[in-house]
Amino acid sequence: MSSTTGAAVSSASPASTASNAHLPVHVAIIMDGNGRWAAARGLPRVAGHRAGAEAVSRCLRAAKAKGVEYLTLYAFSSENWRREPTEVADLTSLLKYYLRHKVAELHKEGVRIRFVGDLGRFGPDLVAELERAEALTAGNAQLTLLLALSYGGRGDIVHAARALAEAVQRGDIALSAIDETALSARLLTAGVPDPDVIVRTSGEHRLSNFLLWQSAYAELVFLDTLWPDFDEASFTRVLDIYARRERRFGARPA
């Protein structure tokens, strides 16, 4: 894995269009900085989350326009449950609003929606809405949007390991047949290619328990931009950075 050389890259840099030959199939983003964006403006944290939701819309438009096939957004981590109950309630209300008002629009645009994480923690009513959104958009192929909700990378690996253990116990798979492919097939992201590039906004330089198994060979890009300020130019900048990387997957240079 590699990261941006030197200082974090600002999305304000001049951007050109990455060629299709170097276009990532799967872009994953840790959306960070909503709280700091709001604090800098003297606004409540929920205002930052609302502005961040608008940045999601811009990001989706950019991904579709550029031809990216998969976009995964880290919307709510398993650790976020430790936040103040009022903030968790604000985030949940915002999620409900967008499920009720935006899913139909995404469906018309050909976006397939998938949710990954410990969704049961949100309660049966919200889970039912998540399932309806997945069912409505299941046949779409323009872009697959994965929203990581109540998600943790370690928990994902534990989930897959438990599924493997149960399969061995049932006699469905031999212990000797367990390999990386078998485990990958039991991750919450099964059927989705691993991310080619993982982006984190707000100047932080860590994965924070996001797609730990899947990120083994992902390129890492860290931006100073706070998530609510992320726009189409920011997305294009990420693609340009990725296009300049040489991905060798552990092999020696030619």
Question: Which residue numbers belong to the known binding site for substrate?
Answer: 33-37, 45, 49, 77-79, 81, 83, 200, 206-208
Say if strands 143-151 and 197-200 run parallel, antiparallel, or are unpaired: unpaired
Residues making up the binding site for Mg(2+): 32, 219
Q: Would you name the residues annotated as active-site residues?
A: 32, 80
CA pair distance 198, 221, nearest whole angstrom: 6
CA separation (Å) from 178 to 72, 76, 165? Answer: 27, 31, 10
CA separation (Å) from 164 to 78, 84, 177? Answer: 22, 36, 10
Question: Sheet holding 70-77: strands in order across?
Answer: 111-116, 143-151, 70-77, 26-30, 197-200, 219-222
How many Cα atoms sit within 13 Å of 169 on the Cβ side? 6
